[in-house]
Amino acid sequence: MKRILFFAVAATGLIIATSSFRAEVSAAKQISTLTDTVHFAGEKHFANVQQLTFGGDNAEAYFSYDGQWIIFQRTNPKEGILCDEMFIGKVPKPGEKFEYKRISTGKGRSTCGAFTKDGKHVIYASTHLGADTCPPVPDRKKYGNKYIWPLYDSYDIFMADLNGKIVKQLTNSKGYDAEATLSPDGRKMIYTSDKDGDIELYIMDLKTGKEKRITNTLGYDGGAWFSPDGKKIIWRASRPKTEAEIREYKELLAENMVAPTNMEVYIANADGSNVRQVTSLGNANWAPAYMPDSKRIIFASNHQSKRGFPFNLFTVNEDGSGLEKISAEKSFDAFPMFSPDGKKIIFCSNRNNGGTRDTNIFIADWVE
């Protein structure tokens, strides 16, 4: 699932729908001015920014264990890619063109990819066993035009070789199984599933298939990662509290939906114990990951905007202190991930898209 990527698009569309033609033209010029650069002034932690993809919606780009490859998901109807498919490509040297190839089946929708420790396989979630075609997009008018995610029950997690041949099906429960990542030693997989009636996190031993549910609080738990030292996990979570919030959450869940507009960052020990809430910023704080020191955290957030847009990258300490804005872009920056050696950062952004809604992948040197 392309995690919250189109929330920004929905917000922009709402503004345009309620504006005059003159305002639309003005806004379009402003967006073009703001997005036609790869490196904004004030982004002091980025150097040598390079755009890797051009056109379409490209998201969730993650490094291989050796830092030489990335896996990502891509949609581009102009190329016949009608919904997310998985691609891999070697990280280019400065100035080189980024070359990539599809690794998913080309059937259904796929998402949330990761390389295995041996560098010879990848894992990702796919709906291809449910149907060859893309699963239907929910009619948001039915839900008051709220931004919602579909939890397709045909999603399962698979392992494939680098030629795209599926060698193993890792999950087969009825319901949504996706958002998988692997531990630093490559032995465990943490993923999200609603198979027990709520949207929870599970950790699976890849060798034995044995697994353990590690979250037990009502609300969406997803997008989890292990810290680089393997001692902790980090994820995003919603925690409906009022009677109205709980009712809405349960009603959406009954229809395989979730509204991811109020989420905070949580951490815990690697076994799920000692759960702690890191952020209390409001709005959507998501796509979190530990930084190379396994102490600080980087994440995406729209908490500075009442209208839900833009999204920017922030860093913060584990105790919620030291919040720092990292990206200065005015539309959408998300999915930050560091290379294993901590020298580079990869992220996805609407910048430099000529005023379109395209989202592309960018890589940069990280400057402390």
The full set of domains in the chain, from first to last, is: 5-366 (2.120.10.30)
Block residue for tokens 């076994």: 271
Answer whether 186's CB lies under 8 Å from 117's CB: yes
The model's pTM is 0.90
Q: What is the pLDDT of residue 35?
A: 52
Q: Compute the CA torsion angle 164, 182, 318, 269 (nearest 10 deg).
A: 160
Give residue 330's pLDDT: 81
Q: b vs e for 319-347, b when ≥16 Cβ sit within 10 Å of the residue's Cβ?
A: ebeeeeebbbbbbbbbbbbbbeeeebbbb
Rg (CA), the chain: 19
Neighbours of 18 (CB within 10 A): 8
Closest CA to 344 of 176, 138, 93, 150: 93
Contact (CB, 8 A) for 24 and 16 = yes
Residue 25 exposure: Cα atoms within 13 Å on the Cβ side: 3
Amino acid at 164: G
Contact call for residues 50 and 61 (beta carbons, < 8 A): no
The model's pLDDT over 258-285, given as tens digits with 9 standing for 90+, comes to: 999 999 999 999 999 999 999 999 999 9
> Which regions in the chain score pLDDT beneath 50?
1, 3-34
How far apart, in whole angstroms, are the C-alpha atoms of residue 354 and residue 350?
A: 9
Q: What pLDDT, on the 0 to 100 scale, is given for residue 18?
A: 30
